Amino acid sequence: MKKKCISIVIPCFNEEENILEVYAVLHKVIQSIPKYEFEFVFVDNGSLDRTRVLISSLVKKDKRVRGVYLSRNFGPESSTEAGLNYAKGSAVIIYESDMQDPPELIRLFIKKWEEGFEVVAGVRNKIEDTPVMAFFRKSFYRIFRAISDIDVPVNSGHYGLIGKKALDAMKKLPEKYRFYRGIRAWIGFKTAYIIYERKKRRHGKSSYNFFSYIKHAERSLFGFSYLPLDILIYFGLILVFLSFLFIVGYVSSFFLFGNPIQGDVAILVTIVFFGGVNLLAVSIIGKYIQVIVEETKSRPTYIIDSVEERT
């Protein structure tokens, strides 16, 4: 009887210092799981170093390795999507090439999948990071869970397993403005969560910076929640009500006491306040319009330069 195949997708961007070690540690792990066949899908997201060359060397060395090369850097969400689309296994495991996630968890992911969980997500209970980034990371997930209609655990990442049924459901979603962790939670299915500790990067430097996390947060917020628009509506109604009370009170005071409010400061503060509210409202609406524009363009989320594999 032919063994089931499990795909391991490894998105990469400027990871020349990690590629060979990633392959070595993953190869060691899968040797302890002989009941399945495995394939490695390395996705090069337009790297500027020797990442592509090293992936090509692995393809020539091991027929289980496939190299998917994007024409440029389309962002981490797009490289993950490309890997999922080119994976051929009955289940897919996403492993990030920075090697901060313990590869031995793959055995536990597969065990949970065998127990009937279609989705297995890794959740980091501790991340070796700067206090500022740790604060912003936790705050983002808590805010996202509070304002969205889906439940994404705090500090969950791409690392995890997704079965064929769940993967097929994800592929049917036509949206371009993608947030993988949100989509993974949105599709439903029986889900298991594995708690682990994430280590610091050993080699190289992360291409992510503070502004990258901000853009990532925008994808989740404007892709999975309309609460900002609802807040604007309620806030607008409150301001209208307070303005009406102010007008009534001012007119009454004018007839009773003369002109009780004098000076330009109050007028200036009022103009600045309402101007700021209007600017914020227009900015939020503009972000949702941006999402609509991206969707209606119908551009692909990535372009393939080439795919390399041994036949």
What confidence tens digit (pLDDT) does each residue in 37-54 have? 899 999 998 888 888 999
pTM: 0.72
Cβ–Cβ < 8 Å for 51, 14: yes
Is the pLDDT at 65 greater than 60? The verdict is: yes
Structure-token match 């807040």, residue found: 231
146-159 average pLDDT score? 71
Q: What is the mean pLDDT of the chain?
A: 78
Residue ranges, comma separated, of all CATH 3.90.550.10 domains in the chain are 5-225+300-309
Q: Cα 286–287–292 angle (5° rounding)?
A: 90
Is the pLDDT at 88 greater than 70? The verdict is: yes
Cβ–Cβ < 8 Å for 78, 70: yes
Is the pLDDT at 11 greater than 60? The verdict is: yes
Percentage, residues of the chain above pLDDT 70:
70
Is the pLDDT at 207 greater than 60? The verdict is: no
Query: What is the CATH T-level fold of the domain 5-225+300-309, as seen in this structure?
Result: Spore Coat Polysaccharide Biosynthesis Protein SpsA; Chain A (3.90.550)
Greater model confidence, 272 or 289: 289
d(Cα 97, Cα 186) in Å, to the nearest integer? 26
Assign 148 a pLDDT band (cuts: 50, 70, 90): low
Q: Tell me the residue type at 264.
A: D
Q: Is the dihedral of CA 199, 204, 193, 160 positive or negative?
A: negative
- pLDDT at position 233 is 73
